[in-house]
Amino acid sequence: MFISSTHRSDIVLFEMIDAQSPADGDAYINALRELAKRSEPAVLIMLIKGMTEQDHETRKQAAAWFKQNRDRLAVFAKGVIRVEQDHHHGDGHVHNHAEEVENSNFARMLPFPMKHAQTLDAAFKMAENWPPS
């Protein structure tokens, strides 16, 4: 399941829960397009829950979107907070990726901080007090 919602004028939530269908992939790409239309930057909270593998076409379209919008990211986003609740890779073990997320090659390419939160409540608190210290 994929759901996109706006919780304040400057906080956008993307929820990826369990298996991502082609329709979820379409909704994700459309949410990215809507995010890129913003004229004021928002903190994007990405909730990842369960086994959320996306299909090849969705990953390909997301990569194309990122390439197209890379130079404009700071116009519509001021940060990303990734929340992983019960996230696993199909091996039955829950993984904590905080250091991996915040120090990834992807995070280094962004013109703003990418942070990790253990819970959605912690992510909202972090977003409300953005930028992080």
Per-residue confidence (pLDDT) for residue 94, from 0 to 100 = 55
Q: Which of 77, 112, 86, 84 is nearest to 100 (CA)?
A: 84
85 pairs with which residues across the strands? 49
CB neighbour class for 56 (10 Å; exposed up to 12, middle 13-18, buried from 19)? exposed
Whether residue 88 is predicted with pLDDT greater than 60 in this model: the reply is no
Whether residue 74 is predicted with pLDDT greater than 70 in this model: the reply is yes
Per-residue confidence (pLDDT) for residue 132, from 0 to 100 = 84
Whether residue 127 is predicted with pLDDT greater than 70 in this model: the reply is yes
Query: pLDDT band for position 109 (50/70/90)?
Result: confident
Q: pTM of the full predicted structure? A: 0.86
DSSP-derived pairing of the beta strands 2-8 and 11-17: antiparallel
